[in-house]
A and B are shown apart, each in its own frame.
Chain A
Amino acid sequence: MKKTMIALAMLAFGTVHAQEMVVKIGSSAPLTGAQAHLGKDTENGVRLAIEDANAKGVVVGGKKVKFELVGEDDQADPKQGTAVAQRLVDAGVKAVIGHMNSGTTIPASRIYNQAGIVMISPSATNPTLTQQGFENVFRVMAHDGKQGPAAAKFALSKLGKKVAVIDDRSAYGQGLADEFEKAVKAGGGTVTTREFTTDKATDFMTILTKVKSQNPDVIFFGGMDPQGGPMVKQVKQLGIEAKFLMGDGGCTPELIKLAGDAIKEGSAFCTQPGVPLEQLPDQNFKARFLKRFNAEVQAYSPYAYDATLTVIDAMKTAGSVEPAKYLPALKKIQHKGVTGMIKFDEKGDLKDGAITVYAFKAGKWEPLK
């Protein structure tokens, strides 16, 4: 009894005297422009994680820590990406969750590397990111070196051997389309045409007409949903029968909305690194996200959430919020996240990252077995 009293007294004493330390965590994603819905989704993932951590109370090295979000808008533009990275460094963030697009993440990662700040991208899947030899760069999603071949394997085995490839000339779109094309050729398929558009275009009639003249079985688009949605419509307008396949940039409710009545069951597919939302180990995440932000999970928020809590976990393990101190802990971390077990290989890539193929069915993306 006496012991308990002492312990309680010490606890009370401790709480009063422990200084609260404010630790800033940066987030960067496109909050304006065509991909704003995805960027907001990503940022909200970080926000939810920080709110959860603060509500639970995190103690690092004996001090109570309050985390603070510094959210920046990189407009999915590589030039803005580096400017934002510099701003985050100047703001004194201890970790950055982001960026969202490969095109912004790769140049920004150099800046974080020079400043010695840990960066975890929830969604940049271009393989180059982790091949630059930067110690402080991680991602919590399988990269396109895996996604491209997985999409190609699916296309060749289920959809057909003649494939047309389109990309939006962004680091992500181009990288994924290249990996896909390589894997299709290696798998015995033929690439009928390789066409290009931009991540701001709305008219694809010309390139689709060209695609159509070669009569492919599958059209693969490496790009994001603001282009993918209208593209599905124009595929229908030109009377093209080919199946439509996208990577994770198209695996969103938004794509289905934008494609309207042009998207048909059994004719549209997408691949996404990670496990399906319906099969997330933590089934509460979607509901909690909806309740907090009054918005559906689009794509990357569970990954952003995991990335944030992984960093916080590493800080707790290392007993320090300084990137240089908690980096070794982060490299060895085993964090049980909402998307699965987060652990990194020597390059900073997610170990055992899964790829799931989805088909459009009954108004939404259904994971295929």
Chain B
Amino acid sequence: METLLQQIINGLVVGSMYALVALGYTMVYGILGLINFAHGDILMIGALVALQAITFAQHTWPHLGALPTLAFGLVVAVPVSMLMGYVIERAAYRRLRNAPRLAPLITAIGVSFLLQTIAMIVWGRNYYSFPQLISTTPLQPVKGVYIAPVQIVILIVSAVLMAALIVLVNKTRIGRAMRATAENHRIASLMGVDANAIISLTFVIGSGLAAIAGVMIASNYGIAHSTMGTLPGLKAFTAAVLGGIGNLGGAMLGGILLGLVESIGAGYIEQFSFGFFNSSYQDIFAFVILGVVLVFRPTGLLGERVADRA
């Protein structure tokens, strides 16, 4: 029983991290119909910049305390990532907005490689130990079941950010402009919406989210390195598609579901298959579930049927 509960907690934590990253994917897709494959790498840059800032803070103000130091890391990393998101959109995607759909997609993959290479030049190829400023000493809410404060923070942060985004998109003026741009950016600009600014803003918000996700992931595992964005990027993309890409609630649902399926699947497959399968099949679950869902609901769990953009 404790084992099952522990696996559920593991799944929820991993799922929240996927969800946090998936929100950025889904926002950009919702507006532009573009799958921004560089999203995972913005996450990585965010984490490494935060690492740099935190190291600086620890040397300069050694008595600052853990949480202010982490906050300082975020205060530096989030704007840097936002700026990066803005520059990427301006330089790499804007000119391709009316190009065939494949062109921005390939460009996104190119940007992803570019960011990884830049990170490799700036920070080298080593794995860095990321200071775990939120405690990782586990608490025991139930006897035999452990959860660390850093994991609780991850659960809360992703829930809060998702809620904030939903409010932003559905209840504010900017949100209305975003929805209008998503519908049709040319007509939206005829109606007085500055579509370019709105699209830039979407990238900026998405990149800020990525930086927060990067810092959370690095804080949880205690490591940061130049390829750390690839796997969460891939999983979060899967989560976004699973939940219905373009839908914020769907990203959250997809992420959590994916985390749970992976952790419970890998935890129990050996018993269910009588030892025929084992935990080395952990990564397969995600894609089996994705396949099944897409067969029956091609737009994902919460996705709506929309006219093809291409």
Contacts and interface: CB of A to CB of B under 8 A. Distances in A.
Given A206-B7, A206-B279, A236-B136, A32 B125 contact: yes
Contacts of B129: 229, 257-258, 260
Interface stretch (A57-65, A121-129, A193-201): A193-201
Q: Chain B interface residue count: which class?
A: 35 or more
A239 B140 contact: yes
B221 A203 contact: yes
B266 to A, nearest CB: 5
Given A206-B262, A233-B136, A258 B223 contact: yes
Provide the main secondary structure of the chain A interface.
helix
Interface stretch (B84-92, B208-216, B225-233, B299-307): B225-233
B278 A209 contact: no
Contacts of A260: 129, 132, 222
Nearest to B116: A32
B238 to A, nearest CB: 15
A33 B223 CA distance: 14
Contacts of B132: 260
B6 interface: yes
The 6 closest A-B pairs by CB, nearest first: A196-B280, A36-B125, A205-B10, A213-B3, A206-B263, A209-B6
A210 interface: yes
Interface in B1-27: 2-3, 6-7, 10-11, 13-14
Given A206-B279, A230-B223, A258-B223, A238 B127 contact: no
Nearest to B127: A226
A203 B267 CA distance: 13
A198 B280 CA distance: 8
Contacts of B125: 31-33, 36-37
Given A195-B279, A238-B6, A210 B267 contact: yes
Contacts of A33: 125, 227
Given A33-B125, A233-B222, A205 B280 contact: no
Given A202-B231, A210-B267, A258-B129, 11 more contacts: A32-B125, A196-B278, A200-B231, A202-B228, A206-B262, A207-B267, A210-B3, A230-B222, A230-B223, A236-B138, A258-B223
B266 A207 contact: yes
Nearest to B263: A206
Contacts, number: 100
27 contacts: A36-B126, A169-B280, A195-B278, A196-B278, A202-B221, A202-B223, A203-B221, A205-B13, A205-B14, A206-B10, A206-B263, A206-B267, A206-B282, A207-B267, A210-B266, A210-B279, A213-B2, A230-B222, A233-B222, A236-B136, A237-B146, A238-B6, A239-B146, A254-B127, A257-B129, A260-B129, A262-B136
A318 interface: no
A330 to B, nearest CB: 33
Contact of B138 (A34, A37, A239): A239
Contacts of B127: 34, 37, 226, 229, 254, 258
Contacts of B7: 206, 209
B266 A258 contact: no
Nearest to B148: A237
Contacts of B109: none
Nearest to A214: B3
Nearest to A239: B146
Interface string B267-294: 1000000000011101100000000000
A61 B267 CA distance: 63
B272 to A, nearest CB: 13
Most A-side CB within 10 Å, residue of B125, B126, B127: B127
B160 interface: no
Contacts of A229: 127, 129, 222-223
Contacts of A226: 127, 223
B55 to A, nearest CB: 14
A115 B16 CA distance: 52
Contacts of A36: 124-126
A194 B275 CA distance: 11
